[in-house]
Amino acid sequence: MSQRGIKAAALAALLMLPFAATAEEAPYTVSNSHELDAETYQGFKLYRNWCARCHGTYGQGMVGPNLAESLNVISKDEFFSVVENGKTGTIGSMPAWSSNPQVMTGREQLYRYLKARADGAIGEVKPKKAK
Ligand code: HEC
């Protein structure tokens, strides 16, 4: 195994812990760190349109918090509810999206995309749709 392979294996082993704890399957498919399945890609497009200006191009945070980190902490239900109702806290204030049908119907896809970011499955590159 190459040096890089060993590192990747060690990282994978580390990442297995939270995966095992939730026993959930990854809700996305990402190849080559940037090719997303159609649903996840739709999440990326929604994210780019509605969320990136506050949460950063890669979800790394700007005015709003780092969502890649948040999605390792908050549950899917919390995510759905925060997006629907907005949130005002110590960092600032996010508007509610309840009156935006694109965001509301796209919450599942947004979640997939951000979960992939949280798991480090997508690199700091612009993703594209897998063929
Ligand atoms: C106008 C700026 C702005 C936009 C646009 C925005 N957010 Fe936020 N968001 C924030 C701020 C600020 C917070 C932090 C509120 C606090 O806790 O102080 C936040 C918090 C969140 C949280 C909770 C994070 C946590 O750890 O509790 C989630 C989830 C989230 N945003 C998702 C989204 C999604 C998805 C979109 C796009 C549909 C979006 N946001 C668009 C500003 C924004």
Give distance in angstroms: CA of 65 to centre of ligand 1. 7
Give residue 94 CA to ligand 1 midpoint distance, Å: 5
Does the pLDDT at position 12 exceed 70?
Answer: no
Domain chopping of the chain, boundaries: 28-129
Ligand 1 binding pocket, CB closer than 6 Å? 50-51, 53-55, 63-65, 67, 70, 74, 79, 82-83, 87, 89-94, 97, 103, 110
Distance from residue 13's CA to the centre of ligand 1 (Å): 31
| Residue 8: band (very low, low, confident or very high) from pLDDT cuts 50, 70, 90 | low
Greatest distance between any 2 Cα atoms in the chain: 52
- Residue written as tokens 């060993």? 6
Angle between helices 76-85 and 107-118 (to 10 degrees): 120
pLDDT computed for residue 125 by the predictor: 92
80-119 pLDDT, tens per residue?
999 999 999 999 999 999 999 999 999 999 999 999 999 9
Quickly state the pLDDT bin for 57 (edges 50, 70, 90). Answer: very high
Q: Whose CA is nearest to atom 6 of ligand 1?
A: 51
Instruction: Supply the CATH classification number for the domain 28-129.
Output: 1.10.760.10
Which ligand 1 atom is nearest residue 73's CA? 26
> CB-based burial of residue 87 (10 Å sphere; 0-12 exposed, 13-18 middle, 19+ buried)?
middle
Find the 64 Cα to ligand 1 centroid distance in Å: 5
pLDDT in tens, 14-48: 555 444 444 468 899 999 999 999 999 999 999 99
